[in-house]
A = this chain, B = another copy of it.
Amino acid sequence: MKQIKGRKRVIIENVYPEIDCGKYPVKRVVDENVKVSADIFADGHNVIKAVLLHRKKGNGKWNETPMKHLSNDKWEAVFKVTRTGWYEYTIRGWVDHFESWQKGLKLKFEANQQIDIELQIGARMMMKAREQASSKHRNKIDKWIGFINEMKHNPAAAAALVLSEEVSDVMYRCADRKDAAVYEKILRVEVERKRALFSSWYELFPRSTSPVPGRHGTFKDVEEVIPLVAEMGFDILYFPPVHPIGKSFRKGKDNSPDAKPDEPGSPWAIGSSEGGHKAIHPELGTLEDFHNVVKKAAGHNIEIALDLAYQCSQDHPYVKEHPEWFTWRPDGTVQYAENPPKKYQDVLAMNFENDDWQNMWKELKSIVDYWIEQGVTVFRVDNPHTKPFRFWEWMIGEIKKEHPDVIFLAEAFTRNKVMDRLGKIGFTQSYTYFTWRNSRDDFIQYLHELTRSERREYFRPNFWPNTPDILPVSLQYKSEAAFISRLVMAATLSSNFGIYGPVFEFCLNVPHPLREEYIDNEKYEIKHYDWKSMTRMRKLIALVNRIRKENPALRTTWNICFAETQNDHLLCYGKTDDEKQNRIFIAVNLDTTFTQGSWIKVPLQEMGISPYRSYNMLDLLTGNSYSWNGEWNYVELNPNIFPVHILKVEQ
């Protein structure tokens, strides 16, 4: 019985957000809010109070934010995180005896009951509070008690005093909280830098950057391309693996199992006699060349993202140095990747269940350390769902201890729960199903899944209209309108987005005859592009990225609200910043062939638009301007002219 806190009457439960009973943190970026709610109540009918306690981890002292009772015992408060690292929060609640007393006094006074004894009870409570009070408050309390005693024959005056805001305020501050209940867990927030939530990715194959057809592109060539990428407004430039490529079982054009001698192979078949994951493919250049790329990119405010693909070609030095990290077959050959009956002889999966797993984990982490030393701050992780979750949790955790700014993007196109788990255990961002969403209702449902469920607390989506492995049906053989609408949706539905270029800017869209991917996949051959040719799409990308940067409403994914439309070819949604100062409304015609129009219902309240005054809609893409009024307004989009609006609300 000694352990029981018998006088703590307040109950605090159902705290949100709380991921897996607090096992995993909530994620935020700098300057985001953490809105915390909980069910808080006590026995009986006393007034209760609750505060949200929050602090930067290690700071010791808690900050207190009073919580507000919404309804049905649900309370809420918000705090803002302003620095990267870890924050903590919990909740404290207590019975407010003084306010309970005030409430009763007021009712009795209004019912014309005798309140002289009541006033004495109040004075007693003040005397008790006095013990906890600062000297300033103590003086006030003394004065008030004196007044109550003087006003024995004028209870109305005494009641007016003790019900005053000043008395309430001082008594709140001096409240005895020794019987306050504190929630049993301290919950955590991992705060990352802003780019974790707001980033524009551009993917290119360095070997395809040569201006001379047929020549292998180099990091020096990449340097020439960087200004073009910067011009389009991207801030992360992502390279597929840049390491030596295996020669054994090298894949040829179109995934052919028999490469011709001059074929370059897939960059994901990592490792040869020239080195492994810490080496650079000699034809791309030297480590110094790589440093120059990083430097040049930094000069354009671009970060380099490397591909982290924990797999090896049969020629990878690990195979000889650490044979125990691989699986060996009874005939003495090493086990290559399979998806029976398919065989991927150019790639070996590593055996995470081997007896030397600890050394293997350390070595795999050292690869990340190595590239961080070379200036890399962002990693796009290849197929993380085929390596153990416990490995990622450990590895990312260890890296972030020293480098909290490093970003990991999970390339896991797989089942929901697996993708969720990768988010929980530390991945900063994740690829999504955006690529395969097509109808209005699909988009709305998917965005609600991402932004209106607990998932928003730990899973940051990154929307890609295409990748080297995916040319979705929505782009295949389609007109430029399809590219424009997919671009605008990726860039405005989600604050993290990316494209695989330059095939996107050039609107290349001939699919493989059998698969939902590009014909003659760039993974297996060097391509030549006319990098400097300016397309309308390139200008448009630059404009969309500028609009994203200039409008805070587009710098987050969590603020989306959809508009009702009467034509399901039209997808319309609004986004605003926290203060509803910056308000953007987007309309997309999902039909890339025909003009579609609809009355649409603007979510005025969510967007902070007054229904009593007309408002101007300025199209940030075209410069056109429309005068709108109230909820229902008409939108018509001709895909052959322009399939989208990005409208800025001006009222």
Contact = CB atoms under 8 A, between A and B. Distances in A.
Given A111-B340, A353-B179, A385-B43, A72 B329 contact: no
A8 interface: yes
Interface string A86-128: 0000000001000000011101101101000100110010000
Contacts of A361: 1, 6
Interface in A377-405: 385-391, 394
Contact of A7 (B21, B104, B357, B394): B357
Interface stretch (A253-261, A281-289, A412-420, A474-482): A412-420
A43 to B, nearest CB: 5
Interface in A188-203: none
A41 interface: yes
Given A330-B117, A361-B1, A9 B111 contact: no
A377 to B, nearest CB: 25
Contact of A8 (B13, B43, B390): B390
A9 B44 contact: no
Interface string A40-77: 01111100000000000000000000000000110000
A390 B329 contact: no
Contacts of A5: 390
A387 B43 contact: yes
A9 B352 contact: yes
A interface: dominant SS: mixed
Contacts of A341: 107-108, 110-111, 113
A295 interface: no
A160 interface: no
A331 interface: yes
Interface in A1-60: 1, 4-9, 11, 13-14, 20-23, 39, 41-45
A525 B213 CA distance: 105
Given A111-B341, A117-B330, A340-B108, A357 B421 contact: no
A388 B421 contact: no
Interface in A296-341: 329-331, 338-341
Contacts of A358: 1, 6
Given A117-B329, A390-B5, A416 B72 contact: yes
Interface of A: 1, 4-9, 11, 13-14, 20-23, 39, 41-45, 72-73, 95, 103-105, 107-108, 110-111, 113, 117, 120-121, 124, 179, 184, 329-331, 338-341, 352-353, 357-358, 361-362, 385-391, 394, 415-418, 421
Given A9-B353, A43-B418, 9 more contacts: A6-B394, A7-B353, A11-B421, A72-B416, A73-B417, A95-B353, A110-B341, A121-B330, A179-B353
8 A-B pairs with the lowest CB-CB distances in the bound complex, closest first: A111-B341, A21-B21, A107-B340, A120-B330, A104-B340, A73-B417, A44-B386, A9-B388
